[in-house]
Amino acid sequence: MRQTEFKNIDPPFWVAWNQALASIRVRFFRHMITGIGIALGIAFFASVLTMRLTEPPNAENPGESDRLLWLVATSLVMCLVGVANSMLMSVTERYREIGTIKCLGASDGFIVKVFFLESAVLGAMGSFAGSLLGSLVMMLAIGAELRTVGFVILAGTATGIVMTILAAVAPAVQAARMPAAAALRVEV
């Protein structure tokens, strides 16, 4: 077979899923800290969203709503930076693993898929816990309806998953573009 005929073949989806879960297990404490950061940011988002859906706007202080939105956006950006940092550290620690996988024939798309799955699992766990915490606290504080809380939990979880996947784009692309031979030579 000539080199031009060689084609990378991606392993099945479950292999990427198992690698993502194995990476989370190996780096459990760092990912737990990242998950807590996600949960806190999404809890703030969920509490503000619950309050906005339950209470009418404050006519006496109309700028209060803008300040809350600014604070929510800032907290979500901070979560985004934390997830990106955690994923970059994961790429750095896994140079040899990535090089080995690429030498065995996995494509760049497979490497990206593993990192996206890893960040999606982190985002799902952290954002679900955070949206549950934030909406339940606000439900107890201001008496929000259960229907409102359900919507906020879904919105918070979806926001967290999308946010963590966006944060993993740069680290996943960096891992995928890594030359296999160079990755095997690196001492980390």
Q: Which two tokens stand for residue 63?
A: 């700028």
- What per-residue confidence (pLDDT) applies to 102? 84
What b/e sequence results for 4-21 when a residue is b if at least 16 CB atoms lie within 10 Å of its CB, and e otherwise?
eeeeeeebeeeebeebbe
Q: Which two tokens stand for residue 153?
A: 């939990």
How many C-beta neighbours within 10 Å does residue 154 have? 12
pTM for this model (two decimals):
0.85
Taking the chain (188 residues) in consecutive chunks of 10 residues, what is each chunk's mean pLDDT?
Answer: 62 90 91 93 93 76 78 92 91 86 85 93 95 91 84 95 94 88 68
